[in-house]
Amino acid sequence: MARHTALCTATLIAFLSIPCLANRKLLVFLIDGFRYDYINEAELQNLPGMREIVQLGVKADYLTPEFPSLSFPNYYSLMTVLIRQGKADMAAVYYERNDVEGHHFGPWSKQRKEATKALDETLRNMNMKIKEVGLQNELNVMLFSDHGMTDIFWMEKVIELDKYIKMSDVLNMMDRGPIVSLWPQEGKLNELYSNLKKVKEMSVYKKDEIPDKYHYKGGKFVAPLTLLAQKGWFIAENIQKLPYWANGTDGKKGWQHGWHGYDNELMDMKGFFLAYGPDFRSNYKAPPMRVVDVYNIMCHVAGINPLPNNGTWSQVKLMLNNGVNLSCTAKASVTVLTVLLAWVFF
């Protein structure tokens, strides 16, 4: 974890060396596996850092991830766009502990709550530091997650594929969990398909049957068969092949208690979005958002023209301030931002 953080920070400094142009600074937090209701009204009572951010800025009801609701591909590509355009005076921070603890112990475990608490502490310090060094009119901060998390039950909710099909009929199997891709051996597609159709806790799709709402079937790497489990169910070859983790006992024997990747319409898969700073309205509750909306806001705040997309700008622009767009002040403030980040994360 420490090494990971160091790597992230190295990346940050690289971002910050991009010369400052006409825009304000942007600090982005990518919080892996942070479910939207980890910051519901009741939870916020114990999270003073995030509570302050909610008061200072914008909070969306929730953020719908792309399907499948797995980690960051969307965000990585969106960061790449911003960096390639070379215009953004921005930095990004990645925090993974909510995802890790959510998997190991479940979304409402005390371990996951502790991870959130630690993040909150960092944010509270950051808020203070921003005021202390007088960056509050220059720095926009956006925080969001890639997906939520739901409880899984390895005791009773595992779909063992080898009970329904001969695994030797499968040429390649990718992933396990809520969504699994299968490449059948030559001539075995229909047999596998009809046998897997018998499992009532999951859907089986041939390529052209994948529902349009997922915007998934057009992808280059979509397998001939896609299996999608119902909420809480876990697909694996058999229980021996489940992804156990090393929980301090000898070998990998720990059970996972949370997972994501299910239908992105399920509420448990929804992520969160918070933002504050001079470009954002304060104490504003925004309607639900999609990843593409985050992209558009990020481009706007960073002063970049977004690539054509099907986001709903009319809805998200309501969270932005219409105030004057101050030009970039002293170059020295880039150093201030760097120092601030170093202070917050070490």
Structure tokens that stand for 277 in this block: 């700073």
Q: In whole angstroms, how close is the CB of 96 to Zn ion at the nearest point?
A: 8
Close Cβ partners of 215 (under 8 Å, ≥ 6 residues apart): 66, 67
Q: Of the two residues 92 and 139, which places its CB atom closer to Zn ion in the complex?
A: 92
Binding segment toward Zn ion, per CB under 5 A, in 30-38, 40-48, 151-159, 242-250: 30-38
Question: Nearest-CB residue to Zn ion?
Answer: 71
β-strands 58-60, 234-236 pairing: unpaired
The neighbour count for residue 194, using CB atoms within 10 Å, is: 11
Structure tokens that stand for 298 in this block: 């990020």
Q: In whole angstroms, how close is the CB of 260 to Zn ion at the nearest point?
A: 6
| Direct distance between the N- and C-terminal alpha carbons of the chain, in angstroms, rounded to an integer | 12
CA–CA dist 79, 324 (Å, integer)? 26
101 in contact with Zn ion (CB under 5 A)? no
99 in contact with Zn ion (CB under 5 A)? yes
By annotation, the residues acting in catalysis are 71
3-state DSSP call for residue 332? helix
Q: In whole angstroms, how close is the CB of 139 to Zn ion at the nearest point?
A: 26
Site string for Zn ion, 266-305 (x = CB under 5 A): ----------------------------------------
The DSSP code for 38 is G
Query: E strand or H helix at 150, and its extent?
Result: strand 150-151
Q: Tell which one of 71, 256, 296, 333 touches Zn ion (CB under 5 A).
A: 71
Q: In whole angstroms, how close is the CB of 231 to Zn ion at the nearest point?
A: 16
Q: Tell which one of 66, 101, 120, 146 touches Zn ion (CB under 5 A).
A: 146
Q: Which residues would be at the binding site for Zn ion (CB under 5 A)? A: 32-33, 71, 99, 146
